[in-house]
Structure 1
């Protein structure tokens, strides 16, 4: 029992203190600038042209029918009348239009201060020095107390 109490006291005395670090704080500054620009651009849209049929019968020798996208046929009937037909071809018609285009540009500005960890070397207090030396003293005492067990253990492995 005395041995365990001695080991416990030596362990408490030889406990060490971690190193202390001083660091500077980080200061970040973020600024976002957004530029919005509107432009009108000429673009082409394709419009479906519907099928159109136009027919006309005239008692004349000449007949003329016309549309922007059409095919025309004309003939003279046996009774002397003129038959003329006009049919549009189904197609897509290009139509120019003006279109609004929005340009959004974002620029992120980040000002950063570099952070460095600076170790400050200072003298250890007498208590810290005593705890550091006490570890080796505790190690010697533990080896001395358990010398028979350590010798037996070493013989098994050798």
Structure 2
């Protein structure tokens, strides 16, 4: 059996609500103001000289794009596929002429003669070859 698993990633837009939160704190000090994409902050000085500070999250949703995977699995019961390849039929090759008996003999005896000549040369020149060989070994 053969199982093929394909995974594709599709972009989808998601969003979630910003939670509403509010906090007020009073301290002694200077005034301040802070604002971001999700919150705004106001600060003030009270009559008694203390600093009032409030922070509020803005209403709305945060949106973003995420890639969600989608996986599909396909199972094939026959994993081995047979493919028929045509084989060319042998065809007759026309030969110019057949070898003569003497040509066939020469082809059959060639390597035997080469070996016999090599052996006879080694036997004939064995003494000079051995002296050269001994000189090389002594070095």
Q: TM-score, normalised by structure 1?
A: 0.37
Q: TM-score, normalised by structure 2?
A: 0.41
Q: Which structure is richer in relative contact order (CA contacts within 8 A, separation 6 or more)?
A: 1
